[in-house]
Amino acid sequence: MLPLLAVLQGIMRNVKRHKTKTETEENDKNKEEKKKAERPSVRRKVKRQKHEPHIHWDRLCLLVFTVVNVPLLAWNWKHLKQKYLEYMEPEYEFKTFSFDHLSALSQREMNMKKYAYNYSTTHIDKRANLSRQEFTDVYDGAWPVIITDVVPKWGAYHWSKQFLLKYYGKDRITMKAVDGRLDNAESLALPLELYFKHAHEGTFRRWTYVEDELFIPTRPQLRRDVGDCEYLKEDYFQLFPEEVRPWNAMLLWGTPHSRSSLHIDPYNWTGTNAVIKGRKQWKLIPPGQDHLLYVKEGKMSGFPLECHKYNSPVDLYDLDLNTYPLVSQLVTIEVDQLPGELLIIPPGWFHQAYNPEETLAVSSQVMNSVNYRVVLEEILKAGNVPRTGWNPSLPYSSPQEQVQEVMSRLPKQLLKRGQAVTDDMQDQIQNGMKKKPRQQKRKWKKSSTWSQWSSDTSSG
């Protein structure tokens, strides 16, 4: 018992001694810090020690990974999103599309309340100082309109016979000549100077109409003279490959009594017509009356990028109700177009133009965010690209991206064919149009209203 007690006493003495020593050291440390604080600070020079560089390999690897992979991830984000959609959704299919004209007219009536103008719902408005937004809200894709303050600003508005004869008189132009009824039209290609000698001559049964798709586009100076239009600047046709892009700025020069066929424009685009000289009379047919027009299905346009052709055999200015009795039920809208006026015709509107006097005009077209789906439907309907197998993200893309995607899927053989069509057309014009199996010499007989003029041409 005594030895154990002695051991415990020794342990207690050591603990007490250690505690006293610790307290003494802390007191000394506090006193020393107090003295340093009371003394003025003295800057001591400390010799810097050289340290060997230490490489943090983990940090370096993380930096390299970030620099290399983050841009790649950003670049591939679109593709990753597409892969996700492909995994979650099936391939997209272009369903048959039909423009809802009734819905467009209903929306137009609502939008008309935004503006103070007294709009017509049975005739064609003639407008000046029209804002872009008002055009989009009230007219684009819904109702025709005539703009009166655009064409006078174009260089083309000052074209004259003397100007065209001086610079282009020897060039050939394409035209249709009618001797009888409209369905007896023949195609010709003649020098411009020869046509102009007789451009003022025409009768109701005998007339000629220049309809040349390539004359203006292949002559840069003339193309520059056809100016822009604020309402038509959004044009997705510019996204088409050049080989299949529709020809733009068609030259129209008609003798008195000349007229177009009753038709919807190719691709069912939004069409425009600018009168430079003369006067046009129009008959426009609101959508929903196609069944009264005897349109023959299956005809193709022959454009570089093929599409269906919607032409009626009916001549609204020379009616034959015995052959086409349903035409008597048609509801039409008529309007006169004067020099310097631009007519804009929405998709789905059949129309026919009549020139009561010698008339010079330029027609064009546009594909925009309102009618782009209509135009794509015509491209799909003609079998240029398949309806199935599209990326599931396509319907969520912008109209411009959708058009670009469709154009990127055009087969190379279609592009080659498109270029061949344009080249062939130019060759035919230079050679007097396409030859029939047996070449014929056309001669116009002298009459009181038509001077005798002849040329060695082959029509087709």
d(CA 65, CA 408): 35
Residue 43 carries which side chain, given as an amino acid letter? R
Beta pairing partners, 190:
173
Q: Name which residue leads in pLDDT, 298 or 448.
A: 298
> 34-38, 42-46, 313-317, 347-351: which range is least confident on average?
42-46
pLDDT the model gives residue 74: 63
The upper half-sphere exposure of residue 84, i.e. CA atoms within 13 Å in the direction of its Cβ, equals 6
At residue 113 the predicted structure's pLDDT band, cuts being 50, 70 and 90, is very high
* pLDDT over 90 at 363, yes or no: yes
Beta pairing partners, 379:
none
Q: What is the pLDDT of residues 394-446, one digit of tens each?
A: 989 999 999 999 999 999 999 999 999 888 888 877 776 544 333 333 333 33
* pLDDT over 70 at 80, yes or no: no
Task: Compute the mean pLDDT over every residue in the chain, rounded to the nearest whole number.
Answer: 84
Q: What is the pLDDT of residues 119-168, one digit of tens each?
A: 999 999 999 999 999 999 999 999 999 999 999 999 999 999 899 999 99
pLDDT the model gives residue 13: 63
- Max Cα separation, the chain? 160
Which residue in the block uniquely carries the two structure tokens 């174009």?
Answer: 154
Going along the chain from its start, the domains and CATH numbers come out as: 101-445 (2.60.120.650)
* pLDDT over 70 at 457, yes or no: no
* pLDDT over 50 at 448, yes or no: no
Strands (E), 161-315: 172-179, 186-191, 206-212, 250-254, 258-259, 262-264, 270-277, 280-285, 310-312
How buried is 43 (Cβ within 10 angstroms: 0-12 exposed, 13-18 middle, 19+ buried)?
exposed
DSSP-assigned letters across all residues of 241-271 = -TTTPPP-SEEEEE-TTEE--EEE-GGG-EE
Q: What is the pLDDT of residues 308-336, one digit of tens each?
A: 999 999 999 999 999 999 999 999 999 99
Q: Name which residue leads in pLDDT, 179 or 38.
A: 179
At residue 36 the predicted structure's pLDDT band, cuts being 50, 70 and 90, is low
Q: What is the pLDDT of residues 213-230, one digit of tens each?
A: 999 999 999 999 999 999
d(CA 320, CA 181): 11
* pLDDT over 90 at 294, yes or no: yes
For the chain, give the percent of residues with pLDDT over 90.
66
Phi, psi torsion values for 393, nearest 5 degrees: -85, -5
Residue 103 CA: distances (Å) to CA of 116, 125, 142, 146: 22, 20, 9, 22
pLDDT the model gives residue 7: 47
* β pairing state of 270-277 and 145-147: unpaired
* pLDDT over 80 at 456, yes or no: no
Q: Is the pTM of this model over 0.85?
A: no
d(CA 237, CA 245): 6
Element (H, E) at 445: none
d(CA 414, CA 244): 8
pLDDT the model gives residue 449: 31
* β pairing state of 172-179 and 186-191: antiparallel
* pLDDT over 60 at 9, yes or no: no
pLDDT the model gives residue 8: 52
How buried is 82 (Cβ within 10 angstroms: 0-12 exposed, 13-18 middle, 19+ buried)?
middle
For the chain, give the percent of residues with pLDDT over 70.
75
